[in-house]
Amino acid sequence: MSAPAAAAIEGTDALRALSLELDAAFATLDPEGRLRLLAERVPGRTVFTTSLGIEDQMLTHLVFRAKLPIEVVTLDTGRLFPETYALWQRTEEQYGRRIKAKYPQADALEALIDDQGINGFYFAPEMRKACCGVRKVEPLGRALAGASGWVTGLRRDQSPNREKLDFVEFDEARGMVKANPLFDWTREEIRVFTAENGVPVNELHDKGFLSIGCAPCTRAIRPGEVERAGRWWWEEETLRECGLHMDASGRSVRARDGKPAPGDSAFETIPS
């Protein structure tokens, strides 16, 4: 085995062990303490990818207020709501910090639209999957390139298929520490925090849009529906995901016991 390969394995093993340590430590810390610990312990770059939803706005507030060395990045798919772009601007103005953006590759996006049309994602899960791959998954790969840590706003109560998340895990697919500092927070707790601390939030939340993604792919939820029911609502799959959170085999990490749940097959091979 070459020296670089051996060093890479050693680095991976160290990050895997660190993930276990941080997962145990998070249980006794508040979200800001968790972020501070990540910034202190994870070597190299740590990136927080924000969708500008309410939980991500809370994390952005904590990162910017404490001036933590965590990069805040968003994936601009080109199909976001006007309200989301307005919130993006308000957030930068309030905290005096930039939220960096990653965009789809122009050639790949042009090829996608030439192939399936501007709204082809409505016609088949595979076409929607391809759209997510070009607009979100590939840009995410560039956002995380070279980083050792990844912060997300995933929460246990967002949907039934997120109940088995950990505070911190080792992302085998990307070889990095993946942390969910708000894993054990409820939406109501986050709503109270943002209101009490003057954190800017998307005005669409008050109109029934609890989980906000691309405008053509998001609707307000109906009474009794789970938080993410408004995402890709026209598809029949019971565990709809965009492909950002995958395991080493390319399956949704929200699949129970490492296997896709019934109806989850559309998300097994999203390109990366």
Active-site residue numbers? 242
Return d(Cα 28, Cα 233) in angstroms, integer.
37
**Residue 217 marked as a ligand binder:** yes
Burial of 33 (0-12, 13-18, 19+ CB in 10 A): middle
**Residue 225 marked as a ligand binder:** no
Contacts of 173 (CB under 8 A, 6+ apart): 246, 247, 248, 250, 272
For residue 66, the cross-strand partners are: none
The 3-state secondary structure of 14-39 reads HHHHHHHHHHHHHCCCCHHHHHHHHH
Helix 54-65, helix 31-41: angle, nearest 10: 60
In the sheet where 149-151 sits, what is the strand order? Answer: 100-102, 71-75, 46-50, 149-151, 176-179, 168-171
**Residue 214 marked as a ligand binder:** yes
Residue set of the binding site for [4Fe-4S] cluster: 131-132, 214, 217
- Known binding-site positions: 131-132, 214, 217
